[in-house]
Amino acid sequence: MARQARAIQTRKSILLAAAEVFDERGYSTATITEIIARAGVTKGALYFHFTSKEDLALGVIAAQLELGPLPPQRTKLQELADQGLLFAHQLQHDPLTRASVGLAMDQWSESAESAESSNPFHGRPFQSWADRLTGLLVEARGRGELLPHVDPAETAELLSGSFTGIQWTSQVLCQRRDLTRRVISMFRHLLPTIAMPQILPTLELTPDRAVSLLASRDAALEGEDAPADEEYDAAAEGASASEAGTAWEPDTAPTRVREGSAAPEGEGSAA
């Protein structure tokens, strides 16, 4: 068991080192030697877990996509918004996510003489995210949350493309420090064009939403032995107590809007 735990930790260390190097240097110029030095492992240890630089990049992408289970929400559109807010948070705080996005956007040289010097992952993480959004939108349509004209795949492509441009702009201007605010603004402009009107007041788009989701997920993982209903209620209560932003309307008092309730009145801004 101790040997297995060490192997798991070694693999995590290698992935984190690879993510940092890919994020700093790009896939094409990153080297196995640099990743080994950053991870503080031997060449044999690295090749025990990963067969090549390409295999390492695939590991980084897979690790970034493994967010773990998130608390289920009353609407699939809330879960879609949660994906975007969580993605923004991870880009600000998680090197694996930043590296994955870098692999998605890093163009390879057309003059590259070998496959090793090119980037075979260009666009892949964003396509994976678009596929995930498409699945959520299909479910939302089946539950009557979408306007009749909405095409799930087309909308997912629009959301993914918009997010890509927003995160890149935020990165260039301020190292993504304002990314959450920009993503909330994106959702406030786009969701009214796809959501049934009665859904909009129930959506929570708050700056600390991602932190609350992660806290709820961690609490759920720690209490896996608890009954499912009690576990979800505890997570929801924790999220309600910790949220300090507003719900859908930009000019509302800090409160949580429940489905089927009227939108609150007051002043303030979540953005």
pLDDT tens digits along 12-37: 999 999 989 988 888 888 899 999 99
pLDDT tops 90 at residue 7: no
Percent of the chain with pLDDT over 90: 46
Task: Look at residue 154 in the predicted model and tell me its pLDDT.
Answer: 96
The pTM of the full predicted model, rounded to 2 decimals, is 0.68
Section 217-224 average pLDDT? 72
pLDDT bucket at 99, cuts 50 / 70 / 90: confident
Higher pLDDT, 26 or 84: 84
pLDDT digits over 85-96, tens only? 998 998 999 888
pLDDT digits over 109-143, tens only? 444 444 444 556 655 667 777 888 999 999 999 99
Task: Look at residue 197 in the predicted model and tell me its pLDDT.
Answer: 97
Structure tokens at 122: 């260009």
pLDDT tops 80 at residue 148: yes
Structure tokens at 29: 């110029």
User: Could you tell me the CA-to-CA distances from 11 to 20, 62, 65, 101, 219 in Å, in that order?
Assistant: 14, 13, 16, 21, 25
- Tell me the pLDDT of the chain averaged across its residues: 79
pLDDT bucket at 264, cuts 50 / 70 / 90: very low
pLDDT digits over 190-210, tens only? 999 999 999 999 999 999 999
pLDDT bucket at 68, cuts 50 / 70 / 90: low
